[in-house]
Structure 1
Amino acid sequence: MRKFISAVIIVFMMSSSYAQNLVNLPFEKPENVEWSGGMKNYFSDIWDTQVNTNVSTPTLEIYKPAPENNTGTAVIIAPGGGLYALSITSEGTEVAQWLKKKGITALVLRYRLVPTAEDGVAEISELSQKNPAKIGEEVGKVIPYSISDGLRAIEYARSNAEDLGIDPKKIGFMGFSAGGAVTMGVAYSYIKSNRPDFLVPVYPWTDAMPVQKPKPDSPPMLIICASDDELGLATGSIDLYNSWYNEKFSVGLHMYSKGGHGFGMRQKDLPSDKWIERFYDWSVSQGITVPVN
């Protein structure tokens, strides 16, 4: 009952403010991926959190800080979920609300996902047990479009900087797990108009987006992960750090000894609970943003 009530409250809150804060991004129609039935928004008992699945139209949900606290900094947030779902609260809207209080404009990106039926979380959970190779096959089809959505999100923020009240030279990209793969896809494929000004991959899924040599003008990056990540993503995070460090780009790494995978804004009574504060400290030290009261 508690989960049902929570889901109803979340849906009500989304429906009351969603339309005025929601932006549809332009996108190209895929040749090899088809969706039906529209986006699903529900509480997943399997993941114990609110999720979005079957996303076929990329959108941005915008969270603006109070004018008196606005720092001009913006962060595009890409939630994780294996490209089959978006963990939309702990890796999306809750992150946005925290940043908003710090004077940072947050834009939650719902990027395109693998087409699924009524319960995408159940589908990926079953495949992980019975046919994990199928997950990689389906992710490989859709991730180029997810990355394209990320690049379009940056273009939107930059071209609408005045209306959004942001500095077009202070637009960052933060992604969690599969959203971290999207983050790195953005990092490896941007052009001048959609170059992110900073990157924050959080336990990035480097199997879906392998570590590559960074571009010559790569922006500063902060990587967040935990050594005990159940998906083994600590190694990829270290490799990603080294790829930036070896090219003498500005890069930081917070590798927590405990935290597991998918901690996001969940409170576990561990140091990893404070990861977003460490991001904020880093962003201030880098001149990406400025402290607010």
Structure 2
Amino acid sequence: MKSWTLAALLLAATGALAQSSVVTLWAGGVPDGGPRAKRVSGPERLDDERISNVSLPTLAVYPAAYDRQSGTAVVICPGGGYEFLSYTREGHQYAQWLSSLGVTAFVLKYRLSGYGHPAPLQDVLHAIRLVRSQAGKYGVAPDRIGVMGSSAGGHLAASAATLFNHPSGRGGDALDAVSARPDFAMLMYPVISMSPPVAHMGSRQALLGAEAPPELVELMSLDKQVGAATPPTLLIHSQDDGLVPADNSILFFQALTRARVPAELMIFERGGHGMAMRAGQGTASNWPRRAEEWLRDRKLIQ
């Protein structure tokens, strides 16, 4: 049995991986979300592993394993094409794994297509600011706060890594004064470009609308927003991803390389889209071990 899996099982048996609390992200009231926002009617919908119709963003807190606390934190953005959140496979399971490594994990429930851009960006940047402003409360270091995301959640995490100072991501409250720059990023089969033929057009339409102006498409094509301040990044993708082509990760990696930002890119032969932490996908199923090595090499875990 792989070491990270064994650790997860042992910690689960002691309750160390349990979610401890859910924090309302916008204690002072949720921002209006911008010009495309419309009122989301009715309650949130939970369908198997998916959450949709989000109007009240939250952070679910998973404390680091008590005997392995590293002082590192990660805000996790589940995927779902900006239409829903794959909350269990790309949120809860990642959080349990990170907790077993000594990382305090925060699973973000963010606003979706009912709001559109910039609401998700506001939510993820506010989440980073909130965790950083309360680093002492959570036992984490303010300079060891990363972001992780899958698919469209990977686009949101990459947005945080590149647009952390963009005016559209501000919430209009006191936390805007706190830095929203993540200290590292982990991107799983991310949507990066909003331009054909690489773009996942479903994510583009859900986030930007059917008639997105060219300047907004350019802004949210994140390979074009990489700069020297973009944090160190790990990219994981599959060659046979038929939904979000691996070209997305390649474009981002090339931009990071041009900007001299430390980065690693892992492209596995098979794994398809949405591999999450499933077994039976060849070498792609070993990505958690490879990611653990990357975190350890960067001195983010022990």
**TM-score band w.r.t. shorter chain:** 0.7 to 0.9
Is residue 146 of structure 2 the alignment partner of residue 147 of structure 1? no
Offset at residue 233 of structure 1 (A)? 2.1
Call closer, same or farther: CA 1:201–1:66 in 2, change over 3 Å: closer
- Tell me what 1:233 maps to: 245
Q: Separation in 2 of the partners of 1:40 and 1:153?
A: 22
Contact conserved, 1:245 with 1:251, CA < 8 A, in 2?
A: yes
- Tell me what 1:126 maps to: none
Per-residue deviation, residues 51-96 of structure 1 (Å, max 9, x unmatched):
1011112110000023322111111110000011111111010110
Q: Separation in 2 of the partners of 1:200 and 1:92?
A: 13
Which amino acid letter does the alignment assign opposite residue 22 of structure 2? L
Question: Is the deviation greater in 244-253 or in 32-41?
Answer: 32-41
With normalisation by structure 2, the TM-score equals: 0.76
- Tell me what 2:113 maps to: 114
Unaligned runs of 5+ in 1: 1-16, 44-49, 116-140
Q: Separation in 2 of the partners of 1:42 and 1:66?
A: 30
Offset at residue 236 of structure 1 (A)? 1.2
Q: Separation in 1 of the partners of 2:265 and 2:113?
A: 30
Which amino acid letter does the alignment assign opposite residue 193 of structure 1? S
- Tell me what 2:146 maps to: 172
Superposed, which structure 2 residues align to 1:96-115 within 5 Å? 96-115=95-114
Question: Is the deviation greater in 145-154 or in 191-200?
Answer: 191-200
**What secondary structure, in the 3-state scheme, does the structure 2 residue paired with 1:112 have?**
coil
Call closer, same or farther: CA 1:61–1:232 in 2, change over 3 Å: closer
**What secondary structure, in the 3-state scheme, does the structure 2 residue paired with 1:277 have?**
helix
**What secondary structure, in the 3-state scheme, does the structure 2 residue paired with 1:186 have?**
helix
Superposed, which structure 2 residues align to 1:53-132 within 5 Å? 53-115=52-114
Is residue 287 of structure 2 the alignment partner of residue 275 of structure 1? yes
From 40, 49, 58, the counterpart of 2:45: 40
* Percent of aligned pairs sharing the same letter: 35
Call closer, same or farther: CA 1:200–1:177 in 2, change over 3 Å: same
Q: Separation in 1 of the partners of 2:300 and 2:121?
A: 23
Contact conserved, 1:55 with 1:111, CA < 8 A, in 2?
A: yes
Superposed, which structure 2 residues align to 1:162-201 within 5 Å? 162-191=136-165, 193-201=179-187
Is residue 194 of structure 2 the alignment partner of residue 203 of structure 1? no
- Tell me what 1:127 maps to: none
Q: Separation in 2 of the partners of 1:205 and 1:143?
A: 15
Question: Is the deviation greater in 167-176 or in 199-208?
Answer: 199-208
**What secondary structure, in the 3-state scheme, does the structure 2 residue paired with 1:167 have?**
coil
Per-residue deviation, residues 128-166 of structure 1 (Å, max 9, x unmatched):
xxxxxxxxxxxxx61321011110110011001001011
Is residue 234 of structure 2 the alignment partner of residue 222 of structure 1? yes
Which amino acid letter does the alignment assign opposite residue 160 of structure 1? Q
Offset at residue 186 of structure 1 (A)? 1.1
The alignment of Structure 1 onto Structure 2 pairs a total of residues equal to 242
Contact conserved, 1:83 with 1:143, CA < 8 A, in 2?
A: no
Per-residue deviation, residues 96-151 of structure 1 (Å, max 9, x unmatched):
01111111101000110123xxxxxxxxxxxxxxxxxxxxxxxxx61321011110
After superposition, the CA RMSD in angstroms is 1.6
**What secondary structure, in the 3-state scheme, does the structure 2 residue paired with 1:60 have?**
strand
Q: Separation in 2 of the partners of 1:213 and 1:66?
A: 35
Offset at residue 270 of structure 1 (A)? 1.6
Q: Separation in 2 of the partners of 1:165 and 1:220?
A: 22
Which amino acid letter does the alignment assign opposite residue 235 of structure 1? D
> Which consecutive aligned stretches of 4+ in structure 1 deviate over 3 angstroms post-superposition?
none
Q: Separation in 1 of the partners of 2:24 and 2:123?
A: 10
Is residue 41 of structure 2 the alignment partner of residue 29 of structure 1? no
Which amino acid letter does the alignment assign opposite residue 40 of structure 2? W
Offset at residue 217 of structure 1 (A)? 1.5
With normalisation by structure 1, the TM-score equals: 0.79
Offset at residue 32 of structure 1 (A)? 3.1
Which amino acid letter does the alignment assign opposite residue 117 of structure 2? I
Offset at residue 272 of structure 1 (A)? 1.1
**What secondary structure, in the 3-state scheme, does the structure 2 residue paired with 1:193 have?**
coil
Contact conserved, 1:143 with 1:182, CA < 8 A, in 2?
A: no
